[in-house]
């Protein structure tokens, strides 16, 4: 009997089970929330990532997805490129052996542009299609050296040229693809990133209270920042503004301080080390604990300005009562009227912090309700996964 399933091969995440990471969480939820059982997912995984979950087999199943491990050597920044190339090659071989009908190969991010032409021909020979998620503007990130940024931009251009369809998780990214690469007449589809809505966690309240005690903070008495420790997330701006504000609340920063040079620069330029309100508290990988930390914050500060729909922003809008976001198109697209927006102008955020301190409960409730409604109607995983499933079966 012929296999009538729609086979979708996902390349570019570190793999599932997901511990953390945007693409990893996306693949986890895409398979966890699957409704249409006629779709068969195949997920490329890094061997080292699988090992963190005690998985050592080359092939295994998770959430009904057929997963395969790829060994990746330690070769520096080129590791991710090697991984995507090896994973896509392996996926095409699986599809060929299985005689899949009209398979889809979904590549997350634009790392392998210089290699994609040969793969595209093989995919076409299989009767398949190449889907690409262009991610955010990786070529703008300050963490990359100029040659790597140049590579990202060239690679992106080639991926756009050879893709059958680009799935953009931001309308602004979709607009950028149309504008910058109009000569390729790109076909795009907007499907946002998602987040959990009204998740129920058990036995975490005690963990939260213990965490607060350890960090020297108290419920509803702190502003919160969560994100990667990179300059384009505007830590310097937010800390500078917080320090000169009049709030007596704390600023709790959840991040991995893995860049000493950047950290020392923050000390020099903000003087936060002399302000007891500012607390770098490390990372929190326990999702139930992190959700409570968000829920019990007074407000969330979001300074991201590079990329598409940011997962930490969605999580904040779904949980934290007040959200203060940097006024850029990506953030306004997501938050709309459920958040307040600050510019980079001196004292803008500081004045906003002082202003929200005087909000009464009714105003806070209005912003909280708007934010949560925004998430429920447009960004819940149920909705996002249903949009993807319609896309797969219609191809």
Per residue in 337-357, pLDDT (tens digit) is 999 999 999 999 999 999 999
Asked if the structure places residue 199 within a domain, the reply is no
The burial class, CB within 10 Å (0-12 / 13-18 / 19+), for 183 is exposed
State whether 130 and 189 are in the same domain: yes
The pLDDT tens digits of the residues spanning 212-267 come to 999 999 999 999 999 989 998 999 999 999 999 999 999 999 999 989 999 999 99
Q: How far apart are the first and last CA of the chain?
A: 22
Mean pLDDT of 189-204: 76
* β-sheet bridge partners, residue 92: none
With a cut of 60, say whether residue 128 has pLDDT above it: yes
State whether 181 and 125 are in the same domain: yes
State whether 287 and 387 are in the same domain: no
State whether 212 and 361 are in the same domain: yes
State whether 324 and 371 are in the same domain: yes
Task: Give the per-residue pLDDT at 197.
Answer: 77
State whether 344 and 385 are in the same domain: no
Helix (H) or strand (E) holding 215: helix 205-215
Asked if the structure places residue 262 within a domain, the reply is yes
Mean pLDDT of 183-202: 83
Instruction: Print the SS3 string covering 88-127.
Output: HHHHHHHHHHHCCCCCEEEEECCCCHHHHHHHHHHHHHCC
Mean of per-residue pLDDT scores for the chain: 92
Instruction: Name the percent of the chain in helix, strand, coil, to the closest 5.
Output: 50, 20, 35
* β-sheet bridge partners, residue 299: 223, 322
| Phi then psi dihedrals of residue 265, to 5 deg | -65, -40
Helix (H, G, I), strand (E, B) or coil at 250: strand
The domain of 344 spans 205-378
Helix (H, G, I), strand (E, B) or coil at 294: helix
Number of domains in the chain: 2
State whether 138 and 279 are in the same domain: no
Helix (H) or strand (E) holding 70: strand 65-70
The pLDDT tens digits of the residues spanning 6-37 come to 999 999 999 999 877 889 999 999 999 999 99
State whether 219 and 338 are in the same domain: yes
State whether 325 and 362 are in the same domain: yes
Strand order in the sheet with 65-70: 59-62, 65-70, 39-46, 6-11, 104-108, 129-133, 165-168, 188-190
Find the CATH number of the domain harbouring 257. Answer: 3.40.50.2000
The pLDDT tens digits of the residues spanning 272-308 come to 999 999 999 999 988 889 999 999 999 999 999 876 6
With a cut of 70, say whether residue 141 has pLDDT above it: no
Asked if the structure places residue 216 within a domain, the reply is yes
State whether 335 and 234 are in the same domain: yes
Helix (H) or strand (E) holding 226: strand 222-226
Question: Under a CB-based contact definition with an 8 Å cutoff, are residues 42 and 70 in contact?
Answer: no
């Amino acid at each position: 009997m012929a296999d009538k399933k729609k086979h979708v091969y996902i390349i570019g995440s570190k793999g599932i089970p997901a511990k953390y990471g945007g693409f990893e969480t996306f693949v986890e939820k895409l398979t966890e929330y699957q409704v249409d059982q006629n779709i068969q997912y195949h997920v490329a995984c890094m061997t080292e990532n699988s090992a963190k979950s005690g998985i050592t087999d080359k092939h295994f199943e998770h959430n009904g997805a057929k997963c395969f491990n790829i060994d990746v050597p330690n070769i520096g920044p080129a590791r991710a490129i090697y991984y995507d190339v090896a994973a896509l090659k392996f996926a095409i071989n699986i599809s060929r052996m299985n005689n899949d009908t009209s398979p889809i190969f979904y590549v997350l991010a634009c790392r392998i542009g210089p290699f994609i032409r040969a793969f595209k021909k093989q995919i076409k020979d299989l009767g398949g299609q190449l889907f690409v998620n262009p991610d955010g503007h990786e070529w703008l990130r300050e963490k990359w050296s100029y040659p790597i940024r140049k590579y990202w931009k060239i690679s992106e251009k080639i991926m756009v040229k050879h893709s059958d369809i680009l799935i953009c998780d931001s309308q602004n990214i979709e607009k950028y693809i149309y504008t910058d690469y109009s000569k390729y007449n790109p076909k795009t589809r907007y499907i946002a990133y998602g987040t959990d809505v009204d998740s129920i966690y058990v036995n975490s309240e005690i963990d939260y209270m213990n965490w607060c005690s350890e960090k020297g903070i108290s419920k509803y008495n702190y502003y919160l920042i969560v994100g990667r420790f990179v300059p384009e997330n505007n830590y310097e701006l937010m800390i500078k503004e917080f320090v000169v504000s009049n709030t007596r609340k704390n600023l709790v920063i959840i991040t991995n301080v893995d860049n000493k040079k950047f950290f020392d620069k923050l000390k020099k330029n903000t003087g936060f080390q002399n302000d007891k309100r500012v607390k770098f508290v490390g990372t929190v990988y326990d999702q139930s604990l992190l959700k409570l930390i968000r829920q019990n914050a007074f407000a969330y500060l979001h300074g991201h300005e590079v990329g598409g729909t940011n997962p930490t922003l969605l999580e904040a809008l779904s949980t934290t009562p007040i959200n203060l976001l940097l006024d850029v198109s990506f953030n306004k697209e997501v938050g709309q009227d459920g958040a307040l927006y600050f510019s980079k102008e001196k004292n803008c955020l500081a004045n906003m912090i002082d202003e929200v301190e005087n909000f009464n409960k009714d105003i806070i409730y209005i912003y909280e309700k708007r934010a949560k409604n925004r998430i429920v109607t447009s960004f819940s995983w149920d909705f996002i996964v249903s949009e993807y499933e319609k896309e797969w079966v219609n191809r």
